[in-house]
């Protein structure tokens, strides 16, 4: 399953959050290499849309339109950072992954839109809908992998994020090999919980193919990872050594000062990781 050297660090950039770093939240795409260089930046979110289409990020300002995003992607790629479009369902009208009527047409559309047109290096799937991944979702993933081409270090990437093992692992047993890697996102878990969740997925997908996801933000938020846990998880990954885990995922690059603090903690304790040149 490994197609990109491990460990790596990926992070989500929120296209629906205004970029105004001086006031705290937000970060322009072109600022990332100089402040929080990671291996992979995932742009969140693009949404499923009826009739096999895909919409732009909901809530995005005009500044974060197609041209702005394409320009930012090129700037990141010039600094050795790969960029993925992250797609999830949409609440209005409600469309989920099991609702896609034609997986082949959907995959062709996604490749044309995000790889050929926008210039991304791959696609990330965020499936958190009320229904567990079904046969149609599995068909969509298979078609996406086919349209993106075989896995390889220089090929288009296909990734998945998850935190519900009982819901997702049955499908991942069938289609997991289509993904370059999978990231967990049980952000409120303590260090022991993070490691146990990672192990559940690693047993199915391989230890080097699962990243541990943590979340930055204000202390006390139940969806934020305690900063001590971030350091302990990074230390644990380093102690295990190269090839023994996939690395870490950070949600997100759009919380202003907390983002920088969480990134600095990962960089300090994830000693076996070499960040891209800033």
| 43-62 pLDDT per residue, tens | 998 888 766 566 554 445 55
pLDDT in tens, 193-217: 999 999 999 999 999 999 999 999 8
For the range 109-117, what are the long-range contacts, defined as Cβ-Cβ under 8 Å and sequence gap of 24 or more? 109/52, 109/53, 109/54, 110/54, 110/144, 110/147, 111/144, 111/147, 111/148, 111/156, 113/54, 114/46, 114/54, 114/85, 115/148, 115/156
Kindly list the distances between the CA atom of residue 191 and the CA atoms of 86, 92, 228, in Å, as whole numbers in the listed order: 26, 36, 9
Looking at residue 115, what is its pLDDT? Answer: 96
Q: Does position 189 have pLDDT exceeding 60, yes or no?
A: yes
Read off the tokens for 28: 């322009």
CA distance 197 to 201: 7
The fold adopted by the segment(s) 8-269 is TIM Barrel (3.20.20)
Q: What percent of the chain has pLDDT over 70?
A: 91
Kindly list the distances between the CA atom of residue 96 and the CA atoms of 49, 127, 161, 182, in Å, as whole numbers in the listed order: 9, 8, 15, 19
CA distance 43 to 126: 12
Residue 212's contacts (CB-CB under 8 Å, 6 or more residues apart) are 183, 184, 194, 195, 198, 233, 237, 245, 246, 247, 248, 249
Q: Does position 146 have pLDDT exceeding 90, yes or no?
A: yes
pLDDT in tens, 87-110: 998 776 788 999 998 999 899 999
């Amino acid at each position: 399953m490994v197609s990109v050297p491990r460990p790596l660090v990926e992070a989500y950039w929120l296209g629906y959050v205004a970029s105004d770093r001086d006031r705290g939240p937000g970060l322009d795409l072109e600022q990332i290499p100089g402040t929080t260089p990671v291996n992979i930046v995932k742009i969140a979110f693009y949404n499923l849309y009826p009739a096999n289409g895909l919409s732009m990020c909901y809530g995005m300002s005009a500044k974060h339109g197609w041209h702005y995003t394409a320009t930012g992607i090129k700037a990141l790629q010039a600094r050795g950072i790969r960029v993925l479009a992250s797609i999830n369902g949409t609440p209005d009208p409600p469309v989920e992954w099991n609702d896609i009527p034609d997986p082949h047409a959907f995959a062709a559309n996604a490749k044309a839109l995000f790889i050929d047109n926008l210039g991304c290096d791959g696609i990330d799937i965020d499936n958190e809908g009320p229904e567990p991944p079904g046969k149609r979702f599995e068909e969509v993933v298979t078609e996406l992998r086919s349209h993106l081409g075989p896995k390889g270090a220089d090929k288009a990437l296909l990734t998945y994020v998850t935190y519900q093992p009982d819901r997702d692992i049955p499908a991942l047993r069938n289609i997991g090999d289509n993904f370059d890697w999978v990231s967990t996102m049980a952000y409120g878990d303590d260090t022991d919980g993070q490691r146990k969740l990672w192990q559940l997925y690693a047993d199915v997908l391989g230890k080097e193919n699962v990243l541990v996801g943590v979340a930055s933000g204000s202390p006390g938020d139940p969806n934020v990872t305690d900063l001590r846990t971030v350091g302990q998880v990074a230390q644990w990954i380093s102690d295990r050594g190269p090839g023994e885990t996939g690395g870490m995922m950070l949600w997100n690059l759009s919380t202003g000062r907390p983002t920088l603090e969480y990134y600095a903690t990962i960089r300090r304790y994830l000693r076996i990781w070499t960040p891209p040149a800033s």
